[in-house]
């Protein structure tokens, strides 16, 4: 029965913001391709219903349409303005997955630097 609770319930929010559970899931999902990250808006999951998500999708599509329309009808050389999109709640799982992905990319970069530039060794206290 607990699996059938709506995602905008107190239980769903507690599970989504459980740091230990999120870290375990993030470690398992770190290698999967990720979509663009959104900034943390602090929107709580409680009250974030499917209807609200649908409205946000419509608003984001409308903002993208307006930006495209402005770009097509503007003079050449005018910088294109990117719309600011609405974002939903950002859970502990999303934060943990993003952190695991950053760590994976950093390790991959450091391995490449060590292979291509063998003389360049990372000294203690140095950050890339």
69 close to 62: Cβ distance less than 8 angstroms: no
10 and 35 belong to one structural domain: yes
37 and 61 belong to one structural domain: no
54 and 34 belong to one structural domain: no
53 and 42 belong to one structural domain: no
- Residue 125: inside a domain, yes or no? no
21 close to 91: Cβ distance less than 8 angstroms: no
Q: Quick one: which of 22, 8, 18 has its CA closest to 98? A: 22
Model pTM score: 0.47
Number of compact structural domains in the chain? 2
Q: H or E stretch including 64?
A: helix 50-73
State mean pLDDT over 5-29.
Answer: 86
- Residue 32: inside a domain, yes or no? yes
- Residue 67: inside a domain, yes or no? yes
Residues 79-89: tens digit of each pLDDT? 888 899 888 88
Full domain range(s) for residue 98: 1-46+91-118
40 and 61 belong to one structural domain: no
Tokens standing for residue 101: 């992905």
State mean pLDDT over 72-101.
Answer: 87
């Amino acid at each position: 029965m607990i699996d059938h609770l709506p995602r905008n319930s107190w239980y769903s929010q507690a599970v989504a913001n459980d740091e230990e559970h999120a870290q375990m899931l993030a470690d398992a999902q770190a290698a999967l391709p990720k979509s663009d990250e959104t900034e943390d808006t602090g929107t709580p999951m409680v009250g974030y219903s499917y209807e609200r998500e649908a409205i946000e999708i419509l608003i984001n599509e409308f903002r993208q349409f307006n930006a495209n329309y402005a770009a097509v009808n503007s003079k050449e050389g005018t910088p294109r303005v990117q719309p600011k999109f609405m974002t939903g709640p950002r859970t502990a799982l999303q934060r943990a997955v993003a952190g695991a992905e950053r760590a994976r990319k950093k390790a991959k970069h450091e391995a490449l630097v060590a292979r291509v530039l063998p003389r360049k060794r990372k000294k203690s206290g140095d950050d890339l």
